[in-house]
Amino acid sequence: MSEQPETLQAAYRRLRETADSIVRLVSGDLLSYPQRELQRRFVQWEGADAISDLQLAEIQQQAKTLALSFVSQLQEALQHDAPWRALLRSDESLPEERKSLRAIAAVWSEVTAIDGELEALARHVGLPGDDRDPAGYQPPARFVGHQHLPTLCEHYFRHIVELRSLEARQNQSTEQRHRNQRAERWTKAGEP
């Protein structure tokens, strides 16, 4: 019985380690995302010649500032266990596609908040909106610093499956213990 809580704690620790790896990888990618995306829009835009070099330098600085601010907020939000454990508290089945950060809805919604801020900046500086399909941040599918996001996402879902199983076993054990205690009380109450 004492092994189970230790096993559960170890599984939670592995989940947290994987979550931290995902946050590091995505944070590193997001630091350059506003600059990359605004550059892409500028290069493809026919009206780009109307923007002066001084304005371009200001846009680049604003993109860097946005990235630093957003990544700091994201790291703060994702340091908590709630978004990572949301799938543990849910009765819904796990998604079939487990190699994408999009499948971790509570985390994905935090990550994609950058798109609203980036669109506001693009409008403010006169650049066109996002014309890609799908629009918005695209998580890296390539290796970033010896880490591969699709593989990390798969590890995350393995931890979720393991934790769901361990928690179910712990709940069954607790329920059985309570039933046994009630049965014992019943028996003792009927003794003279």
Q: What is the pLDDT of residues 131-186, one digit of tens each?
A: 999 999 999 998 888 899 999 999 999 999 999 999 888 888 889 999 999 999 99
* Four-residue CA torsion sign, 93, 19, 79, 29: negative
Burial class (CB in 10 A: 0-12, 13-18, 19+), 159: buried
DSSP letter string, 7-64: HHHHHHHHHHHHHHHHHHHHHHHHTTHHHHHHHHHHHH-GGGGGS-HHHHHHHHHHHH
Percent of the chain whose predicted confidence (pLDDT) is above 90? 80
What distance in Å separates the CA atoms of residue 154 and residue 161, rounded to the nearest whole number? 11
pLDDT band with cut points at 50, 70 and 90 for residue 2 = very low
For position 4, what pLDDT does the model report? 62
DSSP letter string, 106-168: HHHHHHTHHHHHHHHHHHHHT------SS-S-----SEETTEEHHHHHHHHHHHHHHHHHHHH
Whole-prediction pTM: 0.86
Pairing of strands 143-144, 147-148: antiparallel
Q: Any residues with CB less than 8 A from the CB of 70 and at least 6 apart, and which?
A: 30, 34, 113, 114, 117
Largest Cα–Cα distance in the chain?
97
Domain assignments of the chain as residue spans, ordered by start: 12-161
User: For residue range 107-138, what is the model confidence (pLDDT) as tens digits?
Assistant: 999 999 999 999 999 999 999 999 999 999 99
